[in-house]
A and B are shown apart, each in its own frame.
Chain A
Amino acid sequence: MSEMNNERFEDLKDAYVLGALPEEERLSFEEYLVAHPERQAEIDELGAVAGLLAFSPPEQEPSPELRNRVMEVVEAEAEPRRVRERSTLARVGDYLSVPSLALGAAALLVIGLLSWNVLLQGQVEDLQGQVQDSQGQVEDLQAQVEDAQTQQSQTIKLEGSWAEQGATAEVASMEENEIVLVARNMPSVPDDRTCQIWVIKGDVPKPSGLFQPDGNGTATPITNSIKKADVIAVTVEPAGGSEQPTSDPVLLAEL
């Protein structure tokens, strides 16, 4: 097999992200990647493209029995795992009780033991630091959960002539920096027309996404930030969208 180098890396990277390299070649490729971490982002990006294939198969419903089987294992393992974590914390507590004993004994012991005690105190401080870090992580997690709850519950409802006809459209935060317009019961538009989302700051509308209404509802990413925006609007535009709105909004929300 040829030695892995930049040229060969380029030659094989597509097969690699598709999982199509023979074992030996794959290992060689990964060794090269470890030695050249600057190429990792490129492989991640290409891997994301290949990973899209995973979304394409026709929908299949797993059986309820599968869920039962998986949850049976998970629930059986959950408590022992929690116990292990608790016992780890208990061991930390045991360590924390050692210094007073060690310090008392140290007064009677030789220099060597004093040195050992210094070492032990260092470990205790490390452990105390770890406990504080753990507490900090728990607090961070709680804050993240609260943030997520807040973000998930933030939706903005759009009003307008289509809403009066029964359409519903809401702007929702899905994830950090990911805002979508979810629309249902929208009137259909001709093939040569499309719905266009606008994020408006002051009197400047920015084109922020296109979608074609259908009976199942749509979720369309809003491609511009809505922070500091004044209005989100939807207009019907020629297919492909417009640089500026060419018709009155059919849906609108003032922020």
Chain B
Amino acid sequence: MAERGRQYLILADEDLISLVEAADAEAFATLYDRHSRAAFSLAYRMMGERQASEDLTQDAFLKVWRGASSYRADRGSVRTWILSIVHNRGIDQIRSQASRRRTQDKVEASAPRSQPSEAFAEAWRNSQRDQVREALNTLPSEQLKILELAYFSGYTHVEISDLLGLPLGTVKGRMRLGLKKIRDYFESRSAAVPR
């Protein structure tokens, strides 16, 4: 069993998803170990507290387990797919709350964890994360704020317009410019937008 577990560790995410589709729990556990930290980090950024974030992460991973067949490789990586599930369900939950409790910016420090056999993939993901953060740092604060209110806090463009006292056209314009600036960041470095 231990030998089999090691074999899973070297499989690509796309292969693991195929095995999950065939109800392979060990393949799922490997995917969970690879991506749960990123999923939980996103959930925490959206929900703002641990319990709700854990519930959202659990909900998302069970959707991965039960709906692996809906993954489409041509639409992006497995990691992006998992994070999009977290995001979509997070938005649903935030919007369904009668009294919205919006994202808190307080974060907890956490020690990085890494599995030796996953070292390459982990280094690659860390590099992607650093690039994304660097790209976001190039955005004017008024654009970044609007992207964050929409993406993490689940506000609609109309709500952001009300909240910030800005014309709706300005909100849409800043969304467009913010996304364009992120894309330009990668293009200027001759790098593809990670998917």
Contact = CB atoms under 8 A, between A and B. Distances in A.
Interface residues of B, number: 85
A36 interface: no
Nearest to A174: B124
Q: Main SS of chain B's interface residues?
A: helix
Q: Which of A67, A70, A145, A182 gathers the greatest number of chain B CB atoms within 10 Å?
A: A70
Nearest to B87: A54
A204 to B, nearest CB: 18
B194 A74 contact: no
Contacts, number: 203
A12 B54 CA distance: 32
A210 B190 CA distance: 10
Interface residues of A, number: 65
Interface stretch (A78-86, A100-108, A119-127, A226-234): A78-86
A153 B54 contact: no
Interface string B127-164: 11100110110000000000110111011111010000
Contacts of B183: 49
B78 to A, nearest CB: 10
A158 to B, nearest CB: 14
Interface in B46-83: 50, 53-54, 57-58, 61-62, 65-66, 75-77, 80, 83
Given A54-B86, A54-B87, A182 B32 contact: no
A14 B182 CA distance: 13
B15 A148 contact: yes
Q: Main SS of chain A's interface residues?
A: helix
A60 B32 contact: no
A53 B111 CA distance: 22
Nearest to A211: B127
Nearest to A138: B22
Contact of B113 (A57, A61, A182): A61
Nearest to A55: B132
Interface stretch (A89-97, A159-167, A215-223, A244-252): A215-223
A144 B21 CA distance: 15
B176 A49 contact: no
B110 A59 contact: yes
B191 to A, nearest CB: 7
B25 A218 contact: no
Contact of B42 (A14, A57, A218): A57
Nearest to B178: A14
Contacts of B34: none
10 contacts: A22-B158, A46-B179, A48-B193, A49-B182, A52-B132, A55-B194, A57-B44, A60-B37, A73-B65, A81-B23
Interface of A: 11-12, 14-15, 17-22, 44-63, 66-67, 69-71, 73-75, 77-79, 81-82, 85, 141, 144-145, 148-149, 151-153, 172, 174-175, 180, 182, 210, 216-221, 223
Q: Lowest 10 A-B CB distances belong to which pairs?
A: A57-B45, A20-B150, A81-B23, A62-B40, A219-B123, A54-B83, A18-B150, A61-B110, A14-B175, A78-B25
